[in-house]
Every structure is written in C-alpha cells, then in structure tokens.
Amino acid sequence: MSRSERPILPREVDATAFSAALEALLLDVPDGLCATFVDAEGETIDLSTRIDTFDARVYAAEVAPLLARLRTASRELQAGAPEELRLVGERRAAVVRHVADGCDVLVVVEGTASLARAAWACREAARALAAETGLGGRRSISTPPETDVGETPRAFLRDGRVCRVDAVLGAPDVTEPEALLVRTPDGAEEMIVRDPATQRWYRK
C-alpha cells in the first residue's frame, strides 16, 4: 500500500466541533499525512491523521516557533499578518494557514506533487474552522479551482460542519441550475447550492 492510499486512522480522543473539517482536509489531499489544528504554543487542539498521532503532534509543535518568528518578521516589515506559509522539502511539504488569533491549521503531505491541492484544501479548512470558532464569515466550501463548473462537489458545509458528498442524486430544480441533491456519508439527502459569484457550495 502506498503512502497516498493510507486510511485515516481511528481517533484516539473524542471528536470535537473541529474534527469534521480536519478529516475533510485529509480526504481532499490523498497524499496528506496529517491535518492539525494548533494553537500559538504548538499544542494540538484537534487533528486527523494517517500517521502516528504522536508524530502528528510533534510536527505541529515544531511549526509553532517558526510561525512566531514569521509573525515577528512580518510586523517588522509592516507586511501585515501572514496568512499562509508553505514549506517544501525534498521528501515532504507542509502548508500552514491562519485561522484566527492564536490558532492555525497545518497539513503535512508526502512529496510535493499535491502541494497546490493541499494549499487549496488548507484554505477551505481554515474557513470552516474559523466559522466553527465563531470568527468566520459565510459558511461554505468552494469547489477546487481546477475543476470544471459541472463537476461533482466533494464537500459542503452543513450546520457549520464540513460534510463529504458520497453521491449526487440529481439536479431537481431546473430553475436553479447550481442546485444539487446529494447523499452524505450518514445517509442523509441534502440540497446544496453553489454561489455563482464565489463558486462555493453550501446547504440550501
């Protein structure tokens, strides 16, 4: 089994309000090793992982001092608050995205081939996490920028939580072509719509 085919490991702790967004992030990035919601001290708030949980927590702890130095440098340069950091190595890469004051989301990926997708998925996860903390705007998930307009959405937000699409059942409302009836992993059927201005999917 290749690293990209690794399943997401069972949780070692109870799920939180942030768990669905982190799991959706890993589902969107097959090469992703772990997705971690981390505070400014490097402590893990929640995570979803395909690797040992201890290793995932170590990655988060190691990134925190780097983020602190980056924010200090950004203030000195009067560049404003940094929104995203990408680290690209020979074997692995990482994307960190700002969520709210004192917390960020980190995704570590095997190789660099899926870096662009990881960056997109990390941005979407950051929006979902910010919404869950009460610091976000409209609760929605966008389709990947490289997809066709008519391609099946992979996820949307339901009650403030990221929900994966298992199947598209149809487009029953011909007067609203951006609406789709979908089935979710829990068996529920939901009507979702895409905002034509932002290309984001959300529950109708």
Place of tokens 């917390």: 103
pLDDT on residue 145:
36
pLDDT on residue 161:
57
Domains of the chain: 3-132 (3.30.450.30), 141-203 (no CATH)
pLDDT on residue 147:
34
Residue 177 has pLDDT above 80, yes or no: no
Report CA torsion sign: 51, 57, 61, 66: positive
pLDDT on residue 80:
77
pLDDT on residue 196:
66
In this prediction, what percent of the chain has a pLDDT beyond 90? 41
Does the reported pTM lie above 0.85?
no
- The answer to whether residues 189 and 182 touch, using CB atoms and an 8 Å cutoff, is yes
The per-residue pLDDT for range 12-63, each reduced to its tens digit, is 888 888 999 999 999 999 999 999 999 888 999 999 999 999 999 999 999 9
Give the DSSP H or E segment for 19.
Answer: helix 19-28
- Range of 24-33, 81-90, 169-178 with top mean pLDDT: 24-33
The per-residue pLDDT for range 105-153, each reduced to its tens digit, is 999 999 988 899 999 999 999 999 988 876 543 333 333 333 333 456 7
